[in-house]
Structure 1
Amino acid sequence: MEKKQKLSLFLIAMIIGLMVVVQFRSVHKPIVRDTRDTWQLREDLAKAKDLQSKLLIEITSNEDKLAKYETKRKQSKEQALVETLNELKKDAGLEKVHGPGLKMIIEPAYEDLLVNHTKAQISPDILKRLINELNIYDADQISIDGRRVINTTVIRDINGDTKIDGHSLNHFPIEIHVITNNLQNAEKLYNQMKVSKIDDEFFIDSMKINVLKPESNLTIPAYQDTIRIQNMEPANQ
């Protein structure tokens, strides 16, 4: 009986001793914390900041692009207006033009003048018919003796002197320049004028017209006088 009691007491003592040792180590041993989650958070935070920085850079870049696009859009509108204005000026005859076309030379038929004892003078009517025929055969721009022909051009006889917009046509030879849209049209116009009856009409007036071969680049000057606009008023907005 005493042996059992001693064994029991011994076991109890050992258990108590182990508990005391464990408790002692728990109190005096420094606690080591797992810092892996903290470093992971730091890495995630660093990645987030890096992503934020990249996003800010991209947003700034896109805003710059939008600003440039808006500027280009406004400039394109202004450029379109400028191009339209230039095109209208060209159509109105206010701009010098270059292009393929041909020349025609008008001069007196001196042999006929000597026989009839008449003065060399070109008729306004025959000039108008010539312009109409050129327009029928796709002439784009025309000049007569260096004067641009436009929609408001006036060709008439003033005191026995044929004038185009006030410019006298009494010095010969008179050059007519015609510009077409392309060289093919210039060739077509040349062929049409070579078989035209307009030459006979000029001869009746003791004049002859010589149609020269097409050229790749002719120049027609801008209209020199002031264009007067009548019977026009601003439209209601």
Structure 2
Amino acid sequence: MSIKKNWSFTIIALVIGFMIAIQFQTVRKPVVRDTRDVWELREDLLKEKELQSKLMKEIRSNEEKLASYETERSQSKEAVLRETLEELKQEAGLTDIIGPGIVLTIEPIFDEIVLGQPVSDVSPELLQRLLNELNMYEAKYVSIDGNRIINTTVIRDINGETKIDGKPLSQIPFEVKVVAEDLKTAEKLYNRMQVSKSIEEFFIDNLKVTVSKPFQKVTVPAYDNTIKVRYMEPIKADKGGSS
């Protein structure tokens, strides 16, 4: 019996020691502090909201497609494919968009003669923050200086010059065109941009942003660069013809 008791005592001691070691390691683990600033937190929140909104729209779109397929089975497959293709082109930014929206004009605050030197460029950070605010206020389609902004658009400084997807901006002034879901949303967007924080930051850089009153028709041009598709390739069909 004494041998069994010794074994039992040994096993219990090992378990207790293991639990104490785990607890000690947990207590010793340092607390990781969130060192992100307000802008980074705001951008992260915006990305999450955009993702949530995109997922909800995709769900509604798929539900509508399913209902359409159920009620209109007599419709030809070719017509359905063409409609789906047009929707995909629109989502990818490959078509012109005409709808209610606003136009923002970015120009120098002072005349070049008064300022002493021309204002010839806008920093990528200013444009990114402006885009973030527009998206936060439910802008649906945006173009900057005629360049359509899509999910893969890159705005960055290249050799001291701000470029959008590799294209340099025109000389100031230039326009930012925005199309909203409807006229009511465009009016809300206009009101919110009147007190925009990003517009204040443009002012600090000697730039003025003038926001037009909502128009019934604003044209946002199609994306005219080549869209590079990564990590995808066509599926090879089997001998029987199925993939």
The two structures have a TM-score, normalised by structure 2, of 0.63
- Aligned-partner residue type, residue 139 of structure 2: A
- Measured after TM superposition, the shift of residue 232 of structure 1 is 2.3
Matched, 1:213 2:213: yes
Pick the structure with more helix per residue: 1
- On the 8 A contact 1:187/1:214 being kept in 2, the answer is yes
Q: Which runs of 5+ in 1 are unaligned?
A: 1-71
- On the 8 A contact 2:121/2:172 being kept in 1, the answer is no
Query: Could you give the per-residue CA deviations for residues 1-50 of structure 1, whole angstroms, max 9, x where no partner exists?
Result: xxxxxxxxxxxxxxxxxxxxxxxxxxxxxxxxxxxxxxxxxxxxxxxxxx
Percent identical among aligned pairs is: 52
Task: Name the Cα RMSD after superposition.
Answer: 2.2
- Aligned-partner residue type, residue 92 of structure 2: A
- On the 8 A contact 2:108/2:119 being kept in 1, the answer is no
Partner of 2:171: 171
- On the 8 A contact 1:113/1:120 being kept in 2, the answer is no
Return closer, same or farther for 1:79/1:190 CA change in 2, 3 Å cut-off: same
- Distance in 2 (alpha carbons) for counterparts of 1:117 and 1:90: 42
- Measured after TM superposition, the shift of residue 78 of structure 1 is 2.1
- Distance in 2 (alpha carbons) for counterparts of 1:140 and 1:159: 31
Partner of 1:199: 199
Larger Rg belongs to: 1
- Measured after TM superposition, the shift of residue 156 of structure 1 is 0.9
- Aligned-partner residue type, residue 166 of structure 1: G
- Aligned-partner residue type, residue 155 of structure 2: I
3-state SS, counterpart of residue 76 of structure 2: helix
Partner of 1:123: 123
Superposed, 1:3-82 pairs within 5 Å as 73=73, 75-82=75-82
Q: Which runs of 5+ in 2 are unaligned?
A: 1-71, 237-242
- Distance in 1 (alpha carbons) for counterparts of 2:94 and 2:219: 13
